[in-house]
Amino acid sequence: MTGLAVVCRRVVHIYRVDGNDVVALAGVDLDIAAGEMVALVGPSGSGKSTLIGLLAGLMRASAGQVRIGTVDISRVSDGEMARLRGTELGVVLQGARRNLLPYATVRSNIWLAQRRAAKVRPGDVESPERILALLGLTGAGHQRVEDLAPGAAQRAALAVAMAASPGLLLVDEPTSQLDRAARDEVLAALAAINAERGTTVVAVTHDPEVGAKLGRVVTIRDGRVGAEGRNGREFAVIAGDGTVQLPPELLDSYPPGTLLAVEHLNGKVMLVADRED
């Protein structure tokens, strides 16, 4: 099993709300290597859930390219997108129980999610018990979903998303409304999926602490990639059109419209504010 790479090029997504156009994404450029773990962080309304919805093929970009592995999902048919979600992509929507049949057992939920993959790759689908063991749910297969504690329900949703051994796992707010112990169990499960299966993991979170635990942190702000965190350091990101978003804490001192001279000296790029006034 190998992970799938993700490439976004100048991705734009526009909603129509009450007769008005709302720009949710305004030119996102993003590269995620196969086998990476990435957290998409940002405030509510920043566009991070829209981006993960586009990666999952649950909606189509208004413009730009979204590529998963070798497939440009901006161009595939609805039927092909459904096949990809049943075989190559694992998707966990926000709210664990939205991803599960509450009256069925955990094992039955996994088996139902495996049916398409079993037809495409007969004999190459993991047993539900092995998937449950990976996520720390050994012995939970015969429990009904409605009887699970919140943290276990979230890991069961992950188990269903991993049923077809996908190369890319997309998770929206996997730790929201969980206590610290349950949160850490979910994060450990994501780490196990990545380490033992090589699956590329992309998770949306509003919690910077959760983002840091996932490794690479990509900040989405105002519909664009605003910054990246790597190894404890935060970096600004140059977008495809050459723009750079300043950190929010600088905007009080340098509001929109401020003139900045760009100076390049000895390998350093400096932005110098015009203070003539």
Q: Which strands sit side by side in the sheet containing 168-172, from one edge to the other?
A: 89-92, 168-172, 200-205, 37-41, 216-221, 224-230, 233-236
Identify whether the C-beta of residue 113 lies closer than 8 Å to the C-beta of residue 160. yes
CB 153 within 8 A of CB 145: yes
Helix (H, G, I), strand (E, B) or coil at 86: helix
The Cα–Cα gap between 116 and 122 comes to: 10
CA distance 191 to 218: 18
Q: What are phi and psi of 268, to 5 degrees?
A: -115, 140
> Domains in the chain, start-ordered, CATH in brackets?
6-248 (3.40.50.300)
C-alpha to C-alpha distance for 257 and 56, rounded to whole angstroms: 37
pLDDT at 252: 76
- pLDDT truncated to tens, each residue of the chain (277 aa)? 689 999 999 999 998 888 788 888 988 999 999 999 999 998 888 889 999 999 999 999 999 999 999 999 988 999 999 888 888 999 999 999 999 999 999 999 999 998 877 777 766 778 899 999 999 999 999 999 999 999 999 999 999 999 989 999 999 999 998 999 999 999 999 999 999 999 999 999 988 889 888 889 998 888 888 778 776 777 778 777 777 777 777 777 777 778 888 888 787 888 887 765 5
